[in-house]
Amino acid sequence: MHFFEYKKGELHAEDVPVSTLANEFGTPLYIYSFKTLERHVKAYEKAFSSIPHVICYALKANSNTSIIKLIGSLGGGADVVSGGELYRALKAGIPADKIAYAGVGKTEDEIRLALKSNILMFNVESEQELAEIDRIAGLMKTGAPIALRVNPDVDPQTHPYISTGLKKNKFGIPFEDAIEHYRLAAKLKNIRIVGIHKHIGSQLTKVSPFVDALKRILLLVDELSATGIRISHLDIGGGLGITYNDETPPDPAALAKNILPLLKGRDLTLVLEPGRSIVGNAGILVAKALYLKKAPEKNFIVVDAGMNDLIRPSIYGAYHHIQPVVKNRRKNTIADIVGPICESGDFLAKDREIQIVNRGELLAVMSAGAYGFTMSSQYNSRPRVAEVMVKGSEYALIRKRETYADLMKGETIARFV
Ligand code: LLP
């Protein structure tokens, strides 16, 4: 559900016509809806209100400070995967004790920053990482709170690039080795075991993989408790899907309904790490049609947003609905909607049925709030685009469009050229 709707044939972001924002801030432009974000965070909070929980929003989906701040103001925490994300979360006011830190490649500097900040826990992904965190915590004369990320070997039934919980994936500690790793962790002087973590993939549209994976993790929790290792935090990761096209993913309430019974009578704080399901449908990318091109076998609509602005269609073949900002009565056509980047893989949609578009008209790429801006780049020396947040009839620029000068920021000319 979101608040991007047509009013009198004009697409609005809440109460503001999208074309007003495009005129004021230019295109391409990311637009986010405050109310949609709020609705999604509240849906999670409500669904899990019956047990102790922390909704650690996955910053990788969208790390704009205004978005993090809004989520934090509604009680959310953060799931971070780098020193940069940790920095952003803290700057946006997320309390350190609501920050979980995951990722297979944490560096010494990043581990130090997290220890200094007193985060909730490290989600540890390997034996060597565990030893490294112990070593650094020892040097800093502190204790490191950890959860082990366990790979439950459950098929999330999603795109292979975004599935993470199978044996063949690089993530987590194999299920069979988990107990042994916990025993090891319990022996390390500067490690404090607080939790267990799993995340099996993204854009999951069924509830069963969540349930299957949780059941397996709970077996471990019980086995650990029998050996005297108590787990206080159960982190079930993120991954709830959204509707891009015709998917009907479970909502947080449906997820809760299926997993809360499994947690009955257990003294656990539940941690969730949703990213996409909070911000995905809360954002759109607005692009302008530059040229219409007819090739022998195809019609092309060339727009001013490219794979550097939204890479999901190019690398996952992801579907994003694309609709005219101002509805018209023209007939439909079939076209590829492509960007200006010099690559054939630069497309937002292929063979898409869409109302005939004229030059200069605006198109809205829907469900672009997650993994849109955060995965954008300056490829082809294209400045990253502006981001705007709308709340009712109010709106604010939450990230300026980069300039050409920004493209060269930090570069110096080698003295030998
Ligand atoms: N927790 C961990 C440990 C993760 O690796 C991820 C996502 C999340 C939470 C958040 O998952 P979500 O709720 O957003 O599904 N770029 C891809 C998605 C990559 C997801 C990576 N990990 C895409 O555009 O579809």
Taking only the tens place, the pLDDT of each residue in 346-401 is 999 999 999 999 999 999 999 999 999 999 999 999 999 999 999 999 999 999 99
Q: In angstroms, what is the span from residue 225 Cα to ligand 1's centroid? A: 30
Separation of alpha carbons 197 and 176, rounded Å:
15
Q: What residues are labeled active site?
A: 342
CATH of the domain at 245: 3.20.20.10
Contact 190, 142 (CB under 8 A): yes
- Rounded to the nearest angstrom, the distance between the alpha carbon of 255 and the centre of ligand 1 is 17
Determine the structural domain holding residue 338 and report its residue range.
4-32+280-407
CA atoms of 12 and 261, how far apart (whole Å):
40
Looking at the fold, whether 178 and 243 belong to one and the same domain comes out as yes
Q: Is the CB of 86 under 6 A from ligand 1?
A: no
In whole angstroms, give the CA distance from residue 331 to residue 355: 6
Please list the pLDDT of the chain residue by residue as tens digits (417 residues).
789 999 999 999 999 999 999 999 999 999 999 999 999 999 999 999 999 999 999 999 999 999 999 999 999 999 999 999 999 999 999 999 999 999 999 999 999 999 999 999 999 999 999 999 999 999 999 999 999 999 998 877 777 666 666 667 778 899 999 999 999 999 999 999 999 999 999 999 999 999 999 999 999 999 999 999 999 999 999 999 999 999 999 999 999 999 999 999 999 999 999 999 999 999 999 999 999 999 898 999 999 999 999 999 999 999 999 999 999 899 999 999 999 999 999 999 999 999 999 999 999 999 999 999 999 999 999 999 999 999 999 999 999 999 999 999 999 999 999
Maximum CA pair distance of the chain?
71
**Nearest atom (ligand 1) to Cα of 149:** 3
Are 323 and 256 part of one and the same domain? Answer: no
Same domain, 347 and 386: yes
Cβ(59) – ligand 1 distance below 6 Å: no
pTM over 0.85: yes
The DSSP-derived string for 369-388 is SSSSGGG---TTT-PPPEEE
Protein residue with its CA nearest to atom 8 in ligand 1: 238
Residues 268 and 184 in one domain: yes
Tell me if 275 CB under 6 Å of ligand 1: yes
Same domain, 203 and 285: no
16 Cα: distance to centroid of ligand 1 (angstroms)? 30
What is the CA(371)–ligand 1 centre distance, in A? Answer: 8
- Tell which atom from ligand 1 comes closest to the C-alpha of 81: 3
Q: Is the CB of residue 61 below 6 angstroms from any atom belonging to ligand 1?
A: yes
